[in-house]
Amino acid sequence: MKRPHLDSKLPHVGTTIFTVMSQMAAEHGAINLSQGFPDYDGPTALKEAVKRHIDGGYNQYPPMAGVPALREAVAAKVLDCYGARVSPDTEITITPGATEAIYCAVMACVRAGDEVILFDPAYDSYEPAILLAQGRPVRLPLAPPTYRIDWQRVADAITPRTRMIIVNSPHNPTGTVLAAEDLASLTELAERHDLLVVADEVYEHLVFDGQRHESVLRYPELAARTFAVSSFGKTYHVTGWKTGYCVAPPALTTELRRVHQFVTFVGITPIQWGLAEFMREHPEHLRELPAFYQAKRDVFNAALAGSRFRFVPSAGTYFQLADYSAISDLPDREFVNWLTREVGVAAIPVSVFYASPPAARYVRFCFCKNDDTLRAAAAKLSAL
Protein backbone atom coordinates (compact mmCIF):
# COMPACT_ATOMS: atom_id res chain seq x y z
CA MET A 1 0.00 0.00 0.00
CA LYS A 2 1.41 3.36 -1.02
CA ARG A 3 1.68 5.86 1.83
CA PRO A 4 0.42 9.42 1.24
CA HIS A 5 3.08 12.10 0.87
CA LEU A 6 2.97 14.50 3.81
CA ASP A 7 5.11 17.56 4.54
CA SER A 8 4.46 18.71 8.09
CA LYS A 9 3.54 22.36 8.51
CA LEU A 10 5.12 22.26 11.98
CA PRO A 11 8.00 19.79 11.57
CA HIS A 12 9.87 21.00 14.65
CA VAL A 13 6.87 20.91 17.00
CA GLY A 14 6.47 17.88 19.24
CA THR A 15 4.33 17.18 22.28
CA THR A 16 4.20 20.27 24.46
CA ILE A 17 6.54 20.27 27.47
CA PHE A 18 3.57 20.74 29.81
CA THR A 19 2.08 17.42 28.77
CA VAL A 20 5.47 15.71 28.91
CA MET A 21 6.26 16.86 32.45
CA SER A 22 2.78 16.17 33.82
CA GLN A 23 2.97 12.63 32.42
CA MET A 24 6.40 12.15 33.94
CA ALA A 25 5.18 13.46 37.30
CA ALA A 26 2.32 10.94 37.24
CA GLU A 27 4.63 8.08 36.26
CA HIS A 28 7.06 8.77 39.10
CA GLY A 29 4.58 9.91 41.74
CA ALA A 30 6.23 13.34 41.86
CA ILE A 31 4.67 16.54 43.17
CA ASN A 32 3.59 18.31 40.00
CA LEU A 33 4.75 21.93 40.04
CA SER A 34 5.18 21.88 36.27
CA GLN A 35 1.93 22.40 34.35
CA GLY A 36 -0.04 25.46 35.42
CA PHE A 37 -3.24 24.13 36.93
CA PRO A 38 -4.48 24.22 40.53
CA ASP A 39 -4.82 21.12 42.71
CA TYR A 40 -7.94 22.70 44.24
CA ASP A 41 -11.35 23.30 42.71
CA GLY A 42 -13.11 26.42 41.54
CA PRO A 43 -15.65 28.30 43.67
CA THR A 44 -18.61 26.23 44.84
CA ALA A 45 -21.08 28.93 43.79
CA LEU A 46 -19.64 28.90 40.27
CA LYS A 47 -19.92 25.13 39.92
CA GLU A 48 -23.47 25.21 41.23
CA ALA A 49 -24.39 27.94 38.76
CA VAL A 50 -23.14 25.82 35.85
CA LYS A 51 -25.07 22.80 37.14
CA ARG A 52 -28.27 24.85 37.36
CA HIS A 53 -27.88 25.98 33.78
CA ILE A 54 -27.24 22.43 32.60
CA ASP A 55 -30.36 21.27 34.40
CA GLY A 56 -32.23 24.34 33.16
CA GLY A 57 -31.76 23.32 29.54
CA TYR A 58 -29.00 25.73 28.48
CA ASN A 59 -27.26 23.03 26.46
CA GLN A 60 -27.61 24.02 22.80
CA TYR A 61 -25.47 26.31 20.66
CA PRO A 62 -25.01 29.82 22.04
CA PRO A 63 -24.43 32.79 19.72
CA MET A 64 -21.12 32.50 17.88
CA ALA A 65 -19.68 35.52 19.74
CA GLY A 66 -20.70 34.12 23.12
CA VAL A 67 -23.66 34.27 25.50
CA PRO A 68 -24.76 37.93 25.67
CA ALA A 69 -24.96 37.89 29.49
CA LEU A 70 -21.31 36.84 29.72
CA ARG A 71 -20.17 39.44 27.20
CA GLU A 72 -22.04 42.04 29.23
CA ALA A 73 -20.33 40.82 32.41
CA VAL A 74 -16.94 41.12 30.72
CA ALA A 75 -17.76 44.65 29.56
CA ALA A 76 -18.73 45.60 33.13
CA LYS A 77 -15.50 44.12 34.45
CA VAL A 78 -13.37 45.96 31.89
CA LEU A 79 -15.04 49.23 32.83
CA ASP A 80 -14.63 48.58 36.56
CA CYS A 81 -11.01 47.42 36.36
CA TYR A 82 -9.59 49.56 33.56
CA GLY A 83 -12.00 52.43 32.99
CA ALA A 84 -12.61 51.37 29.40
CA ARG A 85 -16.06 51.22 27.83
CA VAL A 86 -16.30 48.36 25.34
CA SER A 87 -19.32 47.08 23.46
CA PRO A 88 -20.50 43.57 24.39
CA ASP A 89 -21.90 43.21 20.87
CA THR A 90 -19.02 44.42 18.69
CA GLU A 91 -15.86 44.27 20.84
CA ILE A 92 -16.04 41.12 23.00
CA THR A 93 -15.81 37.52 21.80
CA ILE A 94 -15.98 34.46 24.06
CA THR A 95 -13.58 31.73 22.93
CA PRO A 96 -12.81 28.14 24.01
CA GLY A 97 -9.64 29.19 25.79
CA ALA A 98 -7.21 32.08 25.42
CA THR A 99 -5.00 30.02 23.11
CA GLU A 100 -7.79 29.88 20.53
CA ALA A 101 -8.26 33.64 20.74
CA ILE A 102 -4.55 34.24 20.14
CA TYR A 103 -4.54 31.79 17.24
CA CYS A 104 -7.56 33.44 15.63
CA ALA A 105 -6.07 36.93 16.03
CA VAL A 106 -2.85 35.86 14.33
CA MET A 107 -4.58 33.93 11.55
CA ALA A 108 -6.96 36.82 10.90
CA CYS A 109 -4.26 39.45 10.41
CA VAL A 110 -0.90 37.87 9.54
CA ARG A 111 -0.21 37.05 5.90
CA ALA A 112 2.59 35.24 4.12
CA GLY A 113 5.90 36.99 4.75
CA ASP A 114 4.62 39.26 7.54
CA GLU A 115 6.89 39.56 10.56
CA VAL A 116 5.63 39.20 14.12
CA ILE A 117 7.77 40.30 17.07
CA LEU A 118 7.62 38.22 20.23
CA PHE A 119 9.79 38.09 23.31
CA ASP A 120 11.83 35.14 24.52
CA PRO A 121 11.09 33.37 26.77
CA ALA A 122 7.77 33.14 24.89
CA TYR A 123 4.75 30.96 25.61
CA ASP A 124 4.82 28.03 23.23
CA SER A 125 1.57 28.69 21.33
CA TYR A 126 2.66 31.98 19.75
CA GLU A 127 5.19 30.79 17.18
CA PRO A 128 3.13 27.89 15.75
CA ALA A 129 0.23 30.27 15.05
CA ILE A 130 2.59 32.63 13.22
CA LEU A 131 4.11 29.81 11.18
CA LEU A 132 0.71 28.41 10.22
CA ALA A 133 -0.21 31.89 8.98
CA GLN A 134 3.02 31.76 6.90
CA GLY A 135 4.43 34.64 8.89
CA ARG A 136 7.96 34.99 10.23
CA PRO A 137 8.54 35.07 14.01
CA VAL A 138 11.11 37.65 15.12
CA ARG A 139 12.15 36.58 18.60
CA LEU A 140 13.83 39.16 20.82
CA PRO A 141 15.45 37.87 24.03
CA LEU A 142 14.65 39.11 27.52
CA ALA A 143 17.80 38.84 29.62
CA PRO A 144 17.72 37.32 33.13
CA PRO A 145 17.34 38.15 35.91
CA THR A 146 15.14 41.20 35.19
CA TYR A 147 13.62 40.10 31.86
CA ARG A 148 12.79 43.66 30.89
CA ILE A 149 11.96 44.62 27.30
CA ASP A 150 14.65 46.67 25.55
CA TRP A 151 12.43 48.98 23.51
CA GLN A 152 15.34 50.34 21.48
CA ARG A 153 16.05 46.79 20.40
CA VAL A 154 12.38 46.43 19.46
CA ALA A 155 12.55 49.62 17.40
CA ASP A 156 15.66 48.36 15.63
CA ALA A 157 13.93 45.06 14.80
CA ILE A 158 10.94 46.69 13.08
CA THR A 159 11.00 46.49 9.28
CA PRO A 160 8.49 47.31 6.53
CA ARG A 161 7.28 43.69 6.86
CA THR A 162 6.53 43.93 10.60
CA ARG A 163 2.80 43.43 11.11
CA MET A 164 2.29 42.59 14.78
CA ILE A 165 3.85 42.52 18.25
CA ILE A 166 2.81 39.93 20.85
CA VAL A 167 3.21 40.93 24.49
CA ASN A 168 2.42 38.93 27.61
CA SER A 169 1.90 40.52 31.02
CA PRO A 170 1.96 39.21 33.68
CA HIS A 171 4.54 37.12 31.89
CA ASN A 172 4.69 33.35 31.65
CA PRO A 173 7.22 31.94 32.51
CA THR A 174 9.19 34.76 34.20
CA GLY A 175 6.50 36.29 36.45
CA THR A 176 7.46 39.84 35.42
CA VAL A 177 4.91 42.57 34.68
CA LEU A 178 4.94 45.45 32.24
CA ALA A 179 5.05 48.97 33.69
CA ALA A 180 3.23 52.06 32.46
CA GLU A 181 6.37 53.22 30.64
CA ASP A 182 6.47 49.92 28.76
CA LEU A 183 2.93 50.48 27.52
CA ALA A 184 3.90 54.03 26.48
CA SER A 185 6.82 52.69 24.45
CA LEU A 186 4.63 50.01 22.88
CA THR A 187 1.99 52.59 21.98
CA GLU A 188 4.52 54.90 20.36
CA LEU A 189 6.06 52.17 18.21
CA ALA A 190 2.72 50.63 17.25
CA GLU A 191 1.33 53.98 16.14
CA ARG A 192 4.50 55.09 14.35
CA HIS A 193 4.72 51.86 12.33
CA ASP A 194 0.98 51.05 12.13
CA LEU A 195 1.37 47.72 13.95
CA LEU A 196 -1.22 45.43 15.46
CA VAL A 197 -0.77 44.08 18.99
CA VAL A 198 -1.83 40.85 20.64
CA ALA A 199 -1.80 41.28 24.43
CA ASP A 200 -1.86 37.99 26.33
CA GLU A 201 -3.28 39.08 29.70
CA VAL A 202 -4.51 35.74 31.01
CA TYR A 203 -2.93 36.41 34.44
CA GLU A 204 -4.33 39.95 34.63
CA HIS A 205 -5.69 39.49 38.17
CA LEU A 206 -2.55 37.83 39.54
CA VAL A 207 -0.36 40.89 40.21
CA PHE A 208 1.37 41.20 43.56
CA ASP A 209 2.88 43.59 46.10
CA GLY A 210 0.39 46.37 45.47
CA GLN A 211 1.25 46.79 41.80
CA ARG A 212 -1.39 47.68 39.23
CA HIS A 213 -1.93 45.54 36.17
CA GLU A 214 -1.17 47.79 33.22
CA SER A 215 -3.70 46.39 30.78
CA VAL A 216 -3.57 47.62 27.21
CA LEU A 217 -7.24 48.46 27.72
CA ARG A 218 -6.24 51.35 30.00
CA TYR A 219 -4.66 53.13 27.04
CA PRO A 220 -7.15 54.13 24.30
CA GLU A 221 -4.59 54.67 21.52
CA LEU A 222 -3.10 51.24 22.15
CA ALA A 223 -6.45 49.49 22.68
CA ALA A 224 -7.54 50.78 19.26
CA ARG A 225 -5.05 48.43 17.55
CA THR A 226 -4.97 45.53 20.03
CA PHE A 227 -6.48 42.11 20.61
CA ALA A 228 -6.57 41.85 24.44
CA VAL A 229 -6.90 38.21 25.46
CA SER A 230 -7.81 36.81 28.87
CA SER A 231 -8.86 33.60 30.59
CA PHE A 232 -11.73 32.63 32.86
CA GLY A 233 -9.89 29.39 33.63
CA LYS A 234 -6.95 31.16 35.26
CA THR A 235 -9.14 33.66 37.09
CA TYR A 236 -11.65 31.19 38.51
CA HIS A 237 -9.40 28.12 39.12
CA VAL A 238 -11.12 26.09 36.36
CA THR A 239 -8.46 25.65 33.70
CA GLY A 240 -10.15 22.51 32.35
CA TRP A 241 -13.19 24.51 31.29
CA LYS A 242 -11.06 26.10 28.53
CA THR A 243 -13.00 29.33 28.33
CA GLY A 244 -11.47 32.72 27.54
CA TYR A 245 -12.29 35.89 25.70
CA CYS A 246 -10.89 38.59 23.44
CA VAL A 247 -11.56 42.32 23.65
CA ALA A 248 -10.77 44.22 20.45
CA PRO A 249 -12.14 47.22 18.54
CA PRO A 250 -14.99 46.46 16.11
CA ALA A 251 -12.91 46.12 12.94
CA LEU A 252 -10.46 43.71 14.60
CA THR A 253 -13.27 41.80 16.30
CA THR A 254 -14.95 41.31 12.94
CA GLU A 255 -11.78 39.76 11.52
CA LEU A 256 -11.22 37.58 14.60
CA ARG A 257 -14.78 36.24 14.45
CA ARG A 258 -14.39 35.39 10.77
CA VAL A 259 -11.70 32.91 11.80
CA HIS A 260 -13.19 31.89 15.15
CA GLN A 261 -16.44 30.66 13.58
CA PHE A 262 -14.49 28.09 11.55
CA VAL A 263 -12.14 26.97 14.32
CA THR A 264 -14.56 26.09 17.12
CA PHE A 265 -17.60 28.27 16.29
CA VAL A 266 -18.75 28.55 19.93
CA GLY A 267 -17.78 27.87 23.51
CA ILE A 268 -19.68 25.63 25.93
CA THR A 269 -23.11 27.11 26.66
CA PRO A 270 -23.81 26.25 30.35
CA ILE A 271 -20.28 27.23 31.36
CA GLN A 272 -20.80 30.66 29.82
CA TRP A 273 -24.12 31.14 31.62
CA GLY A 274 -22.59 30.00 34.91
CA LEU A 275 -19.65 32.38 34.57
CA ALA A 276 -22.00 35.27 33.78
CA GLU A 277 -24.04 34.58 36.91
CA PHE A 278 -20.98 34.19 39.13
CA MET A 279 -19.33 37.37 37.85
CA ARG A 280 -22.51 39.32 38.49
CA GLU A 281 -23.11 37.95 41.99
CA HIS A 282 -19.52 37.61 43.26
CA PRO A 283 -17.46 40.63 42.17
CA GLU A 284 -15.35 40.21 45.30
CA HIS A 285 -13.59 37.23 43.73
CA LEU A 286 -11.49 39.47 41.48
CA ARG A 287 -10.60 41.82 44.33
CA GLU A 288 -9.45 38.94 46.53
CA LEU A 289 -7.45 37.07 43.90
CA PRO A 290 -4.13 38.98 44.08
CA ALA A 291 -3.81 38.45 47.83
CA PHE A 292 -4.85 34.80 47.49
CA TYR A 293 -2.04 34.02 45.07
CA GLN A 294 0.51 36.31 46.70
CA ALA A 295 0.04 34.32 49.90
CA LYS A 296 0.76 31.09 48.00
CA ARG A 297 3.85 32.63 46.43
CA ASP A 298 5.06 33.67 49.86
CA VAL A 299 4.39 30.24 51.40
CA PHE A 300 6.42 28.55 48.68
CA ASN A 301 9.24 31.08 48.69
CA ALA A 302 9.54 31.08 52.47
CA ALA A 303 9.75 27.30 52.48
CA LEU A 304 12.38 27.45 49.71
CA ALA A 305 14.41 30.23 51.32
CA GLY A 306 16.88 27.86 52.98
CA SER A 307 17.58 25.96 49.77
CA ARG A 308 20.35 26.42 47.22
CA PHE A 309 17.89 27.69 44.64
CA ARG A 310 18.16 31.44 44.01
CA PHE A 311 15.13 33.47 43.00
CA VAL A 312 13.51 36.89 42.84
CA PRO A 313 9.89 36.72 44.04
CA SER A 314 7.46 36.60 41.16
CA ALA A 315 5.67 39.91 40.49
CA GLY A 316 2.69 38.20 38.86
CA THR A 317 1.22 34.93 37.48
CA TYR A 318 1.33 31.78 39.60
CA PHE A 319 4.84 30.85 38.51
CA GLN A 320 8.16 31.23 40.26
CA LEU A 321 11.47 31.07 38.39
CA ALA A 322 14.43 29.60 40.27
CA ASP A 323 18.13 29.50 39.39
CA TYR A 324 19.54 26.03 40.11
CA SER A 325 23.14 26.70 39.03
CA ALA A 326 24.40 26.24 42.62
CA ILE A 327 22.93 22.72 42.63
CA SER A 328 23.72 21.20 39.24
CA ASP A 329 25.56 21.75 35.95
CA LEU A 330 22.98 19.73 34.03
CA PRO A 331 21.12 21.46 31.18
CA ASP A 332 17.65 22.39 32.36
CA ARG A 333 15.79 19.66 30.44
CA GLU A 334 18.03 17.01 31.97
CA PHE A 335 17.78 18.67 35.36
CA VAL A 336 13.96 18.62 35.46
CA ASN A 337 13.95 14.97 34.38
CA TRP A 338 16.35 14.16 37.22
CA LEU A 339 14.36 16.33 39.63
CA THR A 340 11.16 14.48 38.77
CA ARG A 341 12.61 10.96 38.92
CA GLU A 342 15.02 11.25 41.84
CA VAL A 343 13.71 14.11 44.00
CA GLY A 344 9.99 13.78 43.37
CA VAL A 345 9.19 17.33 42.19
CA ALA A 346 8.30 18.20 38.59
CA ALA A 347 9.16 21.59 37.08
CA ILE A 348 9.37 23.17 33.63
CA PRO A 349 12.74 23.88 31.94
CA VAL A 350 12.84 27.53 30.89
CA SER A 351 14.95 26.84 27.78
CA VAL A 352 11.87 25.47 25.97
CA PHE A 353 10.46 29.00 25.82
CA TYR A 354 13.48 30.27 23.82
CA ALA A 355 14.66 30.00 20.23
CA SER A 356 18.25 30.47 21.49
CA PRO A 357 18.37 29.78 25.25
CA PRO A 358 20.85 31.75 27.40
CA ALA A 359 23.54 30.03 29.42
CA ALA A 360 21.67 30.68 32.68
CA ARG A 361 20.05 27.70 34.42
CA TYR A 362 16.46 28.36 35.41
CA VAL A 363 13.38 26.23 36.02
CA ARG A 364 9.77 27.29 36.49
CA PHE A 365 7.75 26.14 39.48
CA CYS A 366 3.97 26.50 39.62
CA PHE A 367 2.57 27.62 43.00
CA CYS A 368 -1.18 27.38 42.33
CA LYS A 369 -1.30 24.45 44.73
CA ASN A 370 -2.53 23.80 48.25
CA ASP A 371 -0.16 25.15 50.88
CA ASP A 372 0.67 21.67 52.18
CA THR A 373 1.62 20.63 48.65
CA LEU A 374 3.91 23.65 48.31
CA ARG A 375 5.60 23.00 51.65
CA ALA A 376 6.11 19.32 50.83
CA ALA A 377 7.68 20.18 47.49
CA ALA A 378 9.89 22.87 49.02
CA ALA A 379 11.11 20.42 51.68
CA LYS A 380 12.29 18.05 48.95
CA LEU A 381 13.93 20.88 47.04
CA SER A 382 15.61 22.31 50.13
CA ALA A 383 17.29 18.96 50.81
CA LEU A 384 19.38 19.29 47.63
55 phi and psi angles, rounded to 5 deg:
-70, -25
pLDDT in tens, the chain (384 residues): 778 888 889 988 888 888 999 999 999 999 999 999 999 999 999 999 999 999 999 999 999 999 999 999 999 999 999 999 999 999 999 999 999 999 999 999 999 999 999 999 999 999 999 999 999 999 999 988 899 999 999 999 999 999 999 999 999 999 999 999 999 999 999 999 999 999 999 999 999 999 999 999 999 999 999 999 999 999 999 999 999 999 999 999 999 999 999 999 999 999 999 999 999 999 999 999 999 999 999 999 999 999 999 999 999 999 999 999 999 999 999 999 999 999 999 999 999 999 988 888 999 999 999 999 999 999 999 999
The sign of the dihedral angle between the CA atoms of 103, 104, 110, 112 is positive
pLDDT of residue 239: 96
The CATH number corresponding to 17-42+286-382 among 3.40.250.10, 3.30.160.160, 3.40.640.10, 3.90.1150.10 equals 3.90.1150.10
Annotated domain spans of the chain:
17-42+286-382, 44-281
At 4 the pLDDT is: 86
The confidence score (pLDDT) of residue 143 equals 86
Identify the pLDDT of residue 323: 97
- Three-class SS string for the chain? CCCCCCCCCCCCCCCCHHHHHHHHHHHHCCEECCCCCCCCCCCHHHHHHHHHHHHCCCCCCCCCCCCHHHHHHHHHHHHHHHCCCCCCCCCEEEECCHHHHHHHHHHHHCCCCCEEEEEECCCCCHHHHHHHCCCEEEEEECCCCCCCCCHHHHHHHCCCCEEEEEEECCCCCCCCCCCHHHHHHHHHHHHHHCCEEEEECCCCCCECCCCCCCCHHHCHHHHCCEEEEEEHHHHCCCHHHCCEEEECCHHHHHHHHHHHHHHCCCCCHHHHHHHHHHHHHCCHHHHHHHHHHHHHHHHHHHHHCCCCCECCCCCECCEEEEECCCCCCCCHHHHHHHHHHHHCEECEEHHHHCCCCCCCCEEEEECCCCHHHHHHHHHHHHCC
Q: CA geometry: angle at 146 spanning 182 and 225, to 5°?
A: 25
> Alpha-carbon distance 88 to 103, whole Å?
21
Rounded CA-CA distance 347/380 in Å is: 13
The predicted model scores a pTM of 0.96
pLDDT, residue 12, reads: 85
- From 17, 282, 29, 380, select the one nearest 173 (Cα to Cα): 17
The CATH number of the structural domain formed by 44-281 is: 3.40.640.10
> What's the 3-state SS for 267-310?
CCHHHHHHHHHHHHHCCHHHHHHHHHHHHHHHHHHHHHCCCCCE
Q: What is the pLDDT of residue 5?
A: 81
For residue 280, the model assigns a pLDDT of: 97
